[in-house]
Amino acid sequence: MAMSDARVPPNRITEIRERRGLTIEQLADKVGISVSYLWRLAHSERNLSHKTLVKIAAALEVHPKEILDQQPMVPIVGYVGAGAVMHYYALADSPDEFVPMPEGGNENTVAVEVRGSSLGSIFDTWLVYYDRVHETPTSDMLGKLCVVGLPDDRVLVKRIRRGSAPGLFNLESNTEGLIEDAEIVWAARVRTMTPR
């Protein structure tokens, strides 16, 4: 759901505004919109532009996704393309698209969209969820699908295997050749994958 098409649940803005101890007049003034427009936004389910949503969220000191839905949401921070290489969106710190949080997700969970057959043709447009916590690979990551950062700044989605020496890893995928003895700067285990 793109923020430009986002629907704000009725009373969600009011709930957050009251929790923050702001009057509707104070919030409207902070956002730079009329009280009547803010009242309409706050009391009926309606589309909200990305620009207005960001302004209201900033005034309420919350993340935009907290306004969009009471169901926890996570940002889509990029996509996985050819060679299972991840491409981060330029505005990854302020993404404009959110998807429902997977079961067991947390405040560090993010998603990327698979484009094309980079992870296998059946995964086109699937979502890959992982926690944006960058750590050195651990033994529990071996044999698992992970998002990995390499010294040359590439970010890949690959299965990690032991390499020929400590600190080196083989990186596997369904569609690409094996990358042997790669140094991994950081890794994050893929939490889950779901169709979009």
In this structure, the answer to whether residues 196 and 103 fall within a common structural domain is yes
Are 50 and 112 contained in the same domain?
no
CATH label of the domain that carries residue 43 = 1.10.260.40
Do the bridges between strand 98-100 and strand 73-80 make them parallel or antiparallel, or are there none, so unpaired? antiparallel
Verify that 147 and 84 share a domain, yes or no: yes
pLDDT score recorded for residue 147: 92
| Verdict on whether the full-model pTM lies above 0.75 | no
| pLDDT at res. 94 | 52
Q: Which three-class secondary structure string do you get for the chain?
A: CEHHHCEECCCHHHHHHHHCCCCHHHHHHHHCCCHHHHHHHHHCCEECCHHHHHHHHHHHCCCHHHHHCCCCEEEEEEEECHHHEEEECCCCCCCCEEEECCCCCCCCEEEEEECCCCCCHHHCCCEEEEECCCECCCHHHECCEEEEECCCCCEEEEEEEECCCCCEEEEECCCCCCEEEEECCEEEEEEEEECC
Looking at the structure, do residues 142 and 57 belong to the same domain, yes or no? Answer: no
Instruction: Mark whether 62 and 76 lie in a shared domain.
Output: no
56 and 93 in a single domain? The answer is: no
| Residue 114 and residue 195 in one domain | yes
Q: In this predicted structure, what is the pLDDT of residue 71?
A: 67
Residues 100, 30 within the same domain:
no
Across the chain, which has 196 residues, the per-10-residue mean pLDDT values are 53 85 94 91 74 89 76 82 74 64 89 84 89 91 94 90 96 88 95 91
Q: What pLDDT is stored for residue 96 in this prediction?
A: 64
The predicted structure's pLDDT at residue 28 = 94
**Structural contact between residues 13 and 67, judged by C-beta atoms closer than 8 angstroms:** yes
Q: Are residues 194 and 104 in the same domain?
A: yes
- Residues 111 and 126: their CA atoms lie apart, in Å, by 10
Indicate whether 119 and 97 sit together in one domain. Answer: yes
Return the structure tokens found at 4.
């430009």
Number of domains making up the chain: 2
Looking at 22, 50, 68, the residue that finishes a domain is: 68
Distance CA 108, CA 105 (A): 8
* Rounded Cα–Cα distance for residues 60 and 18 (Å): 10
Which of 68, 88, 123 lies at the terminal end of a domain, its last residue?
68
Does one domain contain both 38 and 80?
Answer: no
Per-residue model confidence (pLDDT) at position 92: 46
Shared-domain flag, residues 80 and 52: no
CATH number at residue 101: 2.10.109.10
pLDDT of residue 7: 63
pLDDT value of position 4: 43
pLDDT at 6: 60
Q: For residue 22, what pLDDT is reported?
A: 92
Q: Which of 68, 86, 116 is the last residue of a domain?
A: 68
Q: Which domain holds residue 11?
A: 3-68
